[in-house]
Amino acid sequence: MPNKELNLSQWSVIAGPCAAESRIQIVESAKKLSESGVNVMRAGLWKPRTSPNSWQGVGEEGVNWMVEAREITGIAISTEVKDEKVLEKTLRAEFDVLWIGSRNAQCFSLLEEVGKSTSGLRLPIILKRGMGADLDEWLGAAEYITKHNPNVILCERGIKGFPKNTRNVLDLQTAKLAQIRSGLPVIIDVSHAAGRRDLVTPMAYAAKAAGFNGVMIEAHPDPDQAMTDANQQISLKSLDLIMRKLDRIPSSL
């Protein structure tokens, strides 16, 4: 059953593996994540990879794992919609939240289609910032969805720049401007911004203290063995610790 109570404009944590890899991994993650108080479990099923020769995700098989994990634990479920075919499949399975990734963040036909096909449902749609998008480009992209479905959550995930030691540059300044200008909730994907585990905790604290609406964090039962983004995924135990510590940080929302 889809999760009707979800309100991602309040402080929310979206966490889970970069990619769904097996039924056990998803069910085990869902149990731990929901015990930790995570609001939405994320897992990529169709992964948009830099190379066509890289593993592309489990695809449709993983839909049942996610739905089962929700049935067992009650946790809301979310995955990336990379094209119209995926959109149809995720709507059929009644995913609670959909997200559009950075690589598709200005694919206007997809944005419009997502908006139109979720308008009646007002399904929450997370729109990641394009990795090279400025504020106008990011907000313009969001409008392609909000014209039809106003329930959009913007997600800052870091932009390209000249970082030597991190995967991307976490641009909290533009994220804050996006929140002020659009009036939409803004969450911070600290994992893809940093690309490394040791920055996840401090950047999550920063996001909460700065009045953002939530964070997205990649967490995996066995991060070193993860099939994608192993360097940045944290263990479910570390995630639990972050949740406890985040409780002590007042949100300025």
Pairing between strand 152-156 and 12-16? Answer: unpaired
Return the one option of Mn ion, ligand PEP, none that residue 128 interacts with (CB less than 5 to 8 A, by type).
Answer: ligand PEP
Of the candidate residues 44, 124, 130, 221, the single one contacting ligand PEP (CB under 6 A): 44
| Site track for ligand PEP across 70-109, x = CB under 6 A | ----------x--------------------xxx------
CB-wise, 128 or 220, nearer to ligand PEP? 128
| Site track for Mn ion across 15-44, x = CB under 5 A | ---x--------------------------
Residue nearest to ligand PEP (CB): 101
Window 102-141: residues binding ligand PEP (CB under 6 A): 102-103, 128
Q: CB under 5 A: which stretch of 27-35, 170-178, 179-187, 221-229 binds Mn ion?
A: 221-229
Q: Is 229 in the site for Mn ion (CB under 5 A)?
A: yes
CB of 252 to Mn ion, least distance (A): 28
Contacts with ligand PEP by CB under 6 A lie at: 18, 44, 80, 101-103, 128, 157, 189, 192
Contacts with Mn ion by CB under 5 A lie at: 18, 229
